[in-house]
Structure 1
């Protein structure tokens, strides 16, 4: 059976924001509301006539995900900010939606033409100037980690960190420091600790109790490298706490 093809002029719906289903369920329960009450509020106050209690339950169980307008309306019914219903935002668009801002608001604040901003958001590729980047970070309340992600530098940072822990970490202090704008001493300490952790896992897999194997070592090493960004930011946050 052939799948129906999309019409050439039919707009493609934008991706939905990451939805925090447990948070929606807890917020509703805290208000003493049933799914029927939420559905009624969405229909009566926000002009969403198709919303049923079953759809609300599907959202809360993670079976379905509300669109951006639906999520904003749901936040209104549950008396919360949209960001309280969103999982950890990663993209530029997700951070904007989490703050309840329209694209026009962001474009005006950072000093971009609306179409230029929308193109960056659609392509998930921030190309603003240093001044515009600073304005974006302030408006969206971005942490350093979020800012690096939103500006599309996660991939390059991951590559640098993997090389640092596998080879000589000292050679990567400067490039990592430039990329994340952190104090040089903090970068040095973080890379050294990550290098020691990685090398320690590799050695321990081969020598602990005499039961290790090259396969175990390789698996542990890959797992560590796959999560290198999490390890890095955890160390940085601990070092700046």
Structure 2
């Protein structure tokens, strides 16, 4: 699978995550600013003219601003560049979203700047337990980004496949060791994934055509099982929070 197909593959870019057009539009609309007003502010920030049609094209996803233009747009909209981009998929992108320099990040994690720059270049994390805790607090990497950087994606996929095809509660702790979230969130996510997969399995006794389709769907589900986990986490977090509130 290529990095274009896999959003969690390491990216050679250490800059910001991809621009999110819908977010830019929502921020501008929320402020009640016109395209012309935003273009004028961007031009003042960059020192060169920007036409309102360029801003309109960014918001429509027709054109993509470069990193300098994203930062200028953020200044024009009185927000952080992080408010205008998608979810980071590398540790370098996490640092940029957090607005930290390599030296500031290294200091927060208790390591040398050279060591941190090596981590960024390779997008590979092997810190101590204390450093990992500091990383999670400082950069708050999305679970998919953290797992990819730790090199544990393969192990996670194996555990998830075993969980959805077997007795999923036995895998909560093992998955939680890889994905550093509230165990209750992992619990609800695995429960949901197991339910979805078992629906495919339940089609085995249907018509030959339906059974064949279910088999293909089950295979595809297992192949991308970790990406299904990432999609389930928000709803699982809501369920965990609701359960804690009711308890």
Per the normalisation by structure 2, the TM-score is: 0.72
What whole-Å deviation, never above 9, does each CA across 1:71-129 have from its counterpart, x for those lacking one? Answer: 22221110112221122223222322222333332222112322332332232222322
- Cross-structure match for 1:54: 53
- Cross-structure match for 1:20: 20
**CA apart distance, 1:13:** 7.0
> Closer, same or farther in 2 for the Cα pair 1:236/1:157, shift >3 Å?
farther
Q: Is the 8 A contact 1:39 1:56 kept in 2?
A: yes
Q: Is the 8 A contact 2:88 2:142 kept in 1?
A: no
- Cross-structure match for 1:240: 240
Q: Is the 8 A contact 1:43 1:49 kept in 2?
A: yes
Q: Is the 8 A contact 1:58 1:64 kept in 2?
A: yes
Report the count of equivalent residues: 227
Equivalent residue in structure 2 for 1:218, among 204, 215, 219: 215
> Closer, same or farther in 2 for the Cα pair 1:190/1:79, shift >3 Å?
closer
Q: Is the 8 A contact 2:14 2:93 kept in 1?
A: no
- Cross-structure match for 1:6: none
**CA apart distance, 1:169:** 4.4
> Closer, same or farther in 2 for the Cα pair 1:35/1:192, shift >3 Å?
closer
Q: Is the 8 A contact 1:17 1:67 kept in 2?
A: no
Partner Cα distance (1:87, 1:187) in 2:
23
Partner Cα distance (2:31, 2:99) in 1:
22
Partner Cα distance (1:93, 1:14) in 2:
5
- Cross-structure match for 1:3: none
Which segments of 5 or more consecutive residues in structure 1 lack a partner in the other structure? 1-11
- Cross-structure match for 2:76: 77
Partner Cα distance (1:186, 1:62) in 2:
33
> Closer, same or farther in 2 for the Cα pair 1:171/1:31, shift >3 Å?
closer
- Cross-structure match for 1:229: 229
Partner Cα distance (2:134, 2:235) in 1:
27
SS of the equivalent of 1:213 reads helix
Partner Cα distance (2:155, 2:49) in 1:
44
- Cross-structure match for 2:116: 117
Per the normalisation by structure 1, the TM-score is: 0.74
Partner Cα distance (2:158, 2:31) in 1:
46
Match status 1:140 vs 2:139: yes
* Correspondence list, 1:190-205, <5 A: 191=190, 194-204=193-203
Partner Cα distance (1:228, 1:127) in 2:
26
Partner Cα distance (2:17, 2:192) in 1:
35
Partner Cα distance (1:25, 1:139) in 2:
29
CA RMSD, 1 decimal: 3.4
